[in-house]
Amino acid sequence: MSQNVLDDSRSVETTKKAIPKLIAVWIVTSLIGSLLVWFVLGPHLPPGTMTDQAAGAQFDIKFVSTLVPPVLFFIWIFFGYSLVKWRVRPGEDPLAPAADFRGNSKTQGAWYIITTVLVLFLAAFGTYFLVVPAGAGGGEGPNPIWTPNTKNMLQVQVIAQQWRFTYRWPQFGGMETTSIYLPVNTEIQFNVTSLDVIHDFWAYQLGVKADANPDVNNVAFTKTQQLGRFTVRCDELCGVWHGAMYNYGYVVSQAQFQQWATQMEAQNAAVTKLLPKYATTYTPSYAGNGGGYYPPQDPNANL
């Protein structure tokens, strides 16, 4: 039996010597990368800090992003080193055998354990930051299980239909508006529903996203903490004008909000009287002049 003789660059000794150097390069590059992500990129990461939930999402994105450089550099350094070091050299027989091993129980074991631990950690991390910030701004369906610690919430109903959003305010006489203003430093409960197909209420800067399903009330919570303008976009394909289904909202001071709301209430009084009673979901109707929508139990819905 002829022995498979390997040239020096592929011998166990040479590669063993290289490993500490590779690890050093990896640690340094990862450290630099992660620090840059945390301190330089971090504060600019989406979706900003306009609400508690947005700030939470920003923290999560920042945290996960800091884990990226170590993984990225690990793989890159490994591949880079192998490809440079063990590429066939001119004059070498390209078909000659290289090292003959089929596995390495220590490496494999370490790999399984490290990836598993990492993954379990990430799942725990995600769960914690889902539960603690009251559902992290995501739609929790009709019976939310992660709720803010207060009864004192501003209720905003978001009604989506092809192709616009309107808002109903049960605490302001059930009026319906086409614009949205929110008071700062306030817990907000969005009740999202649809009159036709599935839409999605995405208030980017608020860190809120909830599908608007017909006949379903999808609840999402957020707590405003900064003044400013936010974008509302429909984020679930809803037909031809889906791309144009957006508007802007504002987080304003509590006094300004009160002023806006009372003014709207007065201005809309006549219309509010014609609206169906406030409900969590509505059934659209095409009967009558221009159609309308009704609470599901409304007897007129069947006329």
Partner 1 sequence: MAIDYSKATGTGSSSGAPGGGGGGLLKPSIITGIIGGVIGWLLGHWIGNSFTQGYQQVQGSGSNDIAEFLGYFGMIIGWFAGLGALNYPIKKLFGVEPEAEEPVTEKGWGKYFRYTLDHKTVGVQYLFGMLIYFFTAGLLALAIRTELLSPTYHIWSPDTYIEIVGEHGTMMMMMMTSVVLGPFGNYVVPLMIGSKRVAFPRLEALSFWFTPISYFILLSGLWQGGFQSGWTGYAPLSVQQGVGQDTYILGFGLQGLSMVCASTNIVATIINYRAPGMSWSRLPVMGWSMLSLGFTMILSIPVLIDGLYVLGLDRTAQTSLLYSGHGGSSFLWENLFWFFGHPEVYLLAIPGFGLVAEIIPVFARKPIFAYKTSAAGFIGLAILSFFVWQHHLFQSGMNPDMRPLFMLTTELISIPTGFIYLVGMGTLWRARIRLTTPMLFMLGVYFNFLFGGLTGVYVSDVPINVTVHGSFFVMAHFHYTIMGGVIFAFFGAIYYWTPLVTGYQLSEKLGKIHFWTMIVFFNSTFLPLFAVGALGMPRRVFEYAHRLQFLNQWVSVSAYLLGASLLFFTVTFIWQIAVTRKPTVRNPWGSRSLEWFVESYPPPAYNFKRVPVVLSWPYEYGDPNALPVADIVNETKDLDPVGRA
Kindly identify the residues of this chain, within the stretch 194-213, that bind Cu ion according to CB under 5 A: 199
Residues between 60 and 99 that touch Cu ion (CB under 5 A) = none
Task: Give the pairing type, strands 180-183 and 187-194.
Answer: unpaired
Written as six digits, the tokens of 251 are 């987080």
Is residue 56 a contact point for partner 1 (CB under 8 A)? yes
Q: Which of 182, 238, 252, 261 binds Cu ion (CB under 5 A)?
A: 238
Written as six digits, the tokens of 33 are 């990368």
Residues between 84 and 103 that touch partner 1 (CB under 8 A) = 86-88, 92, 94-103
- # chain residues binding partner 1, by CB under 8 A: 102
* Binding partner at 207 among Cu ion, partner 1, none, C-beta below 5 to 8 Å by kind: partner 1
* Binding partner at 71 among Cu ion, partner 1, none, C-beta below 5 to 8 Å by kind: partner 1
Is residue 149 a contact point for partner 1 (CB under 8 A)? no
* Binding partner at 61 among Cu ion, partner 1, none, C-beta below 5 to 8 Å by kind: partner 1
**Cis-peptide, bond into residue 26, ω within 30° of zero:** no
Distance CA 131, CA 64 (A): 18
CB 206 within 8 A of CB 224: yes
**Looking at beta carbons only, is 95 or 270 nearer to partner 1?**
95
Residues between 166 and 225 that touch partner 1 (CB under 8 A) = 192, 196-198, 200, 202, 204, 207-211, 213-218
Residues between 241 and 280 that touch Cu ion (CB under 5 A) = 245
**Looking at beta carbons only, is 216 or 275 nearer to partner 1?**
216
Stretch that binds partner 1, among 20-28, 153-161, 235-243, 259-267 (CB under 8 A): 235-243
Cα distances (angstroms) measured from residue 178 to each of 160, 190, 221: 11, 15, 20
Residue holding tokens 């509505």?
Answer: 282
Distance CA 162, CA 244 (A): 10
Which DSSP symbol is given to 187? E
| Nearest distance from C-beta of residue 154 to partner 1, angstroms | 20
Is residue 40 a contact point for partner 1 (CB under 8 A)? no
**Looking at beta carbons only, is 187 or 200 nearer to partner 1?**
200
Which DSSP symbol is given to 9? G
Angle made by CA atoms 274, 279, 281, in degrees to the nearest 5:
110
Classified as helix, coil or strand, 160 is: strand
**Looking at beta carbons only, is 16 or 151 nearer to partner 1?**
16
- List phi, psi (to 5°) of 294: -135, 155
- # chain residues binding Cu ion, by CB under 5 A: 4
Give the interface with Cu ion as residue ranges (CB under 5 A): 199, 234, 238, 245
